[in-house]
């Protein structure tokens, strides 16, 4: 069942420009030149119920603008958007009760009050029956392991604890669709993993449809089988992470542990590009078509203690996607 449908979505912004200097400042009072910026430029995609999709790209690519259009915060300049059968920008109350937008850099918690007060306010906003509210809250508190701090004033919570409470506030009405914009930003690696584990469990338990933006590739690798890559308002790739690697990375990384230091670095140059060489470790980039031959030569002609063959890191593959687009 299709939950999100986007067809030729466009969002343009009018930006005022002013030259430097006092004279330009006075002239701008009477005439201000403008420029139209295409934040989102005719993108199309669809997402099925229960999918967890990574929406990635560099700063200014159009990720957050797209999420704001999908959640109804921004009115599109063109195209058509449907989420759960609704037009998001009409802000229908039945629609708003079924979605949630979580932005890692924004907060809705009352700073001087316990998080529970915000949860109860959202209960009234979303018109949640008391029985359902108690059930939903208890499940979320257990999943996020924060039952013991629900009555602690928000200002006394750590950043990670506050992020967990933000998630509870956004999910207390058990939305069917989640738009997660950098939910792990600023968190340490331990807390990032806990938030990722929670998102995966929520997706699995409630079959929620989730779009996730993140600059942390660990988030994407752990959570998303499918990714949409956007740059300058246009979609550059839409598909599985595995196919992304196959399409843009025609090489693998061979890493070998040596038994002896009596090996010349030059001996490895015939096999591929040397990434790293310092006894007892050597790392070589080898084209996929030559990988079997290179591994055989290494094992036969060199004092190898251990050998691994790996795909390149997702971060490097995505960097290659943007590099190829510009060349």
pLDDT digits (tens, 9 = 90+) for 21-59: 777 676 776 777 778 889 999 999 999 999 999 999 888
User: For position 18, what pLDDT does the model report?
Assistant: 67
Residues shown for the chain: 327
- The tens digit of pLDDT for each residue in 201-239 reads 999 999 999 999 988 888 888 899 999 999 989 999 999
What's residue 24's pLDDT?
Answer: 67
Those residues with Cβ within 8 angstroms of residue 310's Cβ, 6 or more apart along the chain or in another chain: 252, 253, 255
Residues 6+ apart with CB under 8 A from 248: 317, 320, 321, 324
CATH number for the segment(s) 2-9+46-245:
3.40.50.300
Output the six-digit token pair for 242: 């595995």
Greatest C-alpha distance within the chain: 78
Domain 250-310 CATH assignment equals 3.30.70.980:
yes
257-274 mean pLDDT = 88
pLDDT beyond 90 at 85: yes
Which contacts of 13-18 are long-range, i.e. CB under 8 A and separated by 24 or more positions?
A: 13/37, 13/39
119: nearest Cα among 129, 109, 127: 109
Beta partners for residue 228, in sequence order = 55, 238
Per the model's pLDDT, the better-predicted residue between 20 and 138 turns out to be 138
Q: What is the pTM (predicted TM-score) of this model?
A: 0.80
**190 membership: H or E segment, kind and range:** helix 189-206
Name the pLDDT band for 327 (thresholds 50, 70, 90). very low
Q: State whether residue 144 is helix, strand or coil.
A: helix
Instruction: Name the pairing type of β-strands 251-258 and 304-310.
Output: antiparallel
Chain centre to alpha carbon of residue 276: 30
List the domain boundaries for the chain. 2-9+46-245, 250-310
Whether the per-residue pLDDT at 137 is higher than 80: the answer is yes
- List b or e across 129-168, with b for residues whose CB sees 16 or more CB atoms inside 10 angstroms: eeeebeebbebbbebbebeebeeeebeebeebbbbbbbbb
**Using one digit for the tens of pLDDT, what is the confidence trace for 104-133?**
777 889 989 999 999 999 999 999 999 999
- Using the predicted structure, report yes or no on whether residue 84 has a pLDDT greater than 80: yes
């Amino acid at each position: 069942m299709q939950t999100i449908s986007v067809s030729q979505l466009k969002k343009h912004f009018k930006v005022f420009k002013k030259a430097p200097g006092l004279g330009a400042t006075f002239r701008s009072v009477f005439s201000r030149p403008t420029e139209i910026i295409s934040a989102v430029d005719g993108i199309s995609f669809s997402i099925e119920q229960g999918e967890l999709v990574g929406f990635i790209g560099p700063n200014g690519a159009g990720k957050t603008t797209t999420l704001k259009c999908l959640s109804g915060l921004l009115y599109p300049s063109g195209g058509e958007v449907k989420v759960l059968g609704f037009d998001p920008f009409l802000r229908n109350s039945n629609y708003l009760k079924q979605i949630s937008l979580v932005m890692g850099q924004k907060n809705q918690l009352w700073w001087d009050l316990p998080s529970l007060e915000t949860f109860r306010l959202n209960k009234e906003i979303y018109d949640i029956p008391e029985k359902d509210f108690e059930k939903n809250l208890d499940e979320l508190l257990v999943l996020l392991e924060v039952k013991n701090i629900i009555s602690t004033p928000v200002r006394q919570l750590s950043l990670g604890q506050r992020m967990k409470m933000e998630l509870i506030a956004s999910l207390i009405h058990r939305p069917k669709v989640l738009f997660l914009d950098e939910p792990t930003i600023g968190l340490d690696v331990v807390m990032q993993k806990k938030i990722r584990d929670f998102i995966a469990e929520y997706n699995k338990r409630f079959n929620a449809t989730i779009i996730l933006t993140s600059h942390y590739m660990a988030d994407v690798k752990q959570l998303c089988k499918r990714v949409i890559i956007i740059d300058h308002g246009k979609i550059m790739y839409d598909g599985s992470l595995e196919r992304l690697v196959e399409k843009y990375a025609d090489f693998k990384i061979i890493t070998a542990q040596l038994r002896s230091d009596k090996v010349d670095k030059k001996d490895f140059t015939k096999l591929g590009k040397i990434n790293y060489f310092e006894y007892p470790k050597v790392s070589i980039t080898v084209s996929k078509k030559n990988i079997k031959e290179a591994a055989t030569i290494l094992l036969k002609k060199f004092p190898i203690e251990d050998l691994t063959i790996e795909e390149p890191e997702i971060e490097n593959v995505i960097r290659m996607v943007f590099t190829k687009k510009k060349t």
